[in-house]
């Protein structure tokens, strides 16, 4: 499944004034010049979308030297910021490689980016969703331990929690409370959430990763991905809990998204509410059935439906693959 590159010609009117030495002062307009723009799929792994003041911002794993950001008004077409500026540059971060899985949240007027660098979880801040994001103190949130995929959740009582992956028994998902600075982990509150435990997760290798937590009608829902991101059987499942710290119970009908349509390797998702109030999910897929990179960003719709007397999360198997205008 190699996506064709499409071209869209957008016309721009340029009016120039030419004043000739011997002229009477009349000006001649220059002819219309077509500006050709190329559409390609959005090459973001581990994508995350933030809606802020009517504009969508997408962040993802894409650059060797930091975290990229794109902007959109309609979720379908995206553009880079002028100069293709990164939201976070490695010079403003701890670690100099492997910038993965960014998530951005606005809290009390400040924007917090949670991400991984050199297989350690980090957080940086900015006054704008475009960045530049910077670490005030250049160190990981957990020094001395490799962790990835950190995700913020703030409960109804205002208490902040951090979900993330630890490298013990493969990759598994943990939660801990944060201090009010949203940067400091309260280590004494660490609790294990989930690990590989369902047959569909055991294709290759032991991975539960990419947590994202939301609340619906008083119940907590955690989406996660299983199997290696390199596997075509990478997919999305979810677990539920009555308390944010667990215990978490996986949905017996998992996976809820795996190889939809002609996509393979789908996973590392996050959710957001669009301008119309609809809950959406963003996730990446492999480039094709035979090539992993570059991974593409895809968007679908999430609903909660009743099934056999139980309210379950449902991801629409229809999806859109947005394009980047260049």
- For residue 310, is it within any domain? yes
- For residue 12, is it within any domain? no
- For residue 20, is it within any domain? no
Active-site positions read: 46, 209
Count Cα atoms within 13 angstroms, Cβ side, for 277: 0
Question: Hunting for tokens 């609790």 — which residue is that?
Answer: 191
pLDDT at 36: 62
pLDDT at 169: 85
pLDDT at 17: 25
- For residue 2, is it within any domain? no
**pLDDT (tens digit per residue) in 145-192:** 999 999 999 999 999 999 999 999 899 999 999 999 999 999 999 999
- For residue 142, is it within any domain? yes
Q: How many domains does the chain have?
A: 1
- For residue 242, is it within any domain? yes
Q: In this structure, what CATH number is given to the domain that contains residue 275?
A: 2.115.10.20
> What is the average pLDDT score of the chain?
90
pLDDT at 205: 82
Domain that holds residue 171: 43-325
**pLDDT (tens digit per residue) in 232-257:** 999 999 999 999 999 999 999 999 99
**What is the secondary structure of 198-255 as a DSSP string?**
SGGGGSSSSBEEEEEEEEETTEEEEEEEES-TTSTT-EEEEEEESSTT---EE-TT--
Confidence of residue 19 (pLDDT cuts 50, 70, 90): very low
pLDDT at 326: 85
pLDDT at 211 over 50: yes
Tokens of residue 156, six digits: 């109804």
pLDDT at 30: 52
- For residue 10, is it within any domain? no
**pLDDT (tens digit per residue) in 270-280:** 999 999 999 99
* Pairwise CA distance, residues 285 & 303, whole Å: 21
- Tell whether the torsion through CA atoms of 181, 187, 188 and 189 is positive or negative: positive
pLDDT at 66 over 50: yes
- For residue 177, is it within any domain? yes
pLDDT at 24 over 60: no
pLDDT at 232: 97
pLDDT at 235: 98
């Amino acid at each position: 499944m190699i996506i064709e590159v499409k071209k869209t010609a957008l016309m721009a009117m340029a009016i120039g004034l030419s004043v000739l030495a011997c002229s009477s002062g009349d000006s001649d307009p220059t002819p219309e010049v077509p500006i050709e723009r190329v559409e390609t799929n959005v090459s973001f792994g581990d994508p995350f979308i933030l809606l802020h003041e009517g504009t969508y911002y997408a962040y993802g794993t894409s650059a060797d030297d930091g975290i990229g950001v794109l902007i959109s008004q309609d979720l379908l077409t995206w553009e880079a910021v002028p100069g293709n500026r990164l939201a976070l540059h490695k010079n403003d971060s701890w670690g100099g490689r492997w910038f993965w899985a960014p998530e951005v949240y606005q809290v009390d007027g400040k924007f917090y980016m949670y991400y991984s660098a050199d297989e350690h979880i980090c957080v940086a801040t900015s006054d704008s969703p475009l960045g530049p994001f910077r670490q005030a103190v250049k160190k990981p949130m957990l020094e001395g331990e490799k962790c990835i995929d950190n995700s913020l959740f703030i409960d109804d009582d205002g208490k902040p929690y951090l979900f993330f992956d630890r490298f013990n028994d493969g990759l598994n998902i943990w939660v801990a409370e944060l201090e009010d600075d949203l940067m400091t982990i309260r280590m004494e509150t660490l609790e294990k959430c989930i690990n590989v435990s369902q047959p569909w997760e055991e294709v290759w290798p032991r991975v539960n990763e990419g947590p994202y937590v939301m609340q619906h009608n008083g119940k907590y829902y955690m989406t996660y991905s299983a199997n290696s991101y390199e596997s075509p059987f990478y997919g999305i499942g979810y677990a539920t809990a009555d308390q944010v710290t667990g215990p978490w119970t996986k949905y017996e009908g998992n996976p809820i998204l795996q190889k939809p349509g002609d996509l393979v390797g789908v996973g590392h998702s996050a959710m957001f509410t669009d301008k119309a109030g609809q809950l959406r999910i963003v996730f990446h897929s492999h480039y094709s059935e035979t090539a992993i990179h570059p991974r593409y960003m895809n968007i679908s719709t999430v609903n909660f439906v009743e099934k056999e007397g139980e309210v379950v999360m449902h991801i629409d198997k229809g999806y859109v693959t947005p394009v980047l205008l260049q």
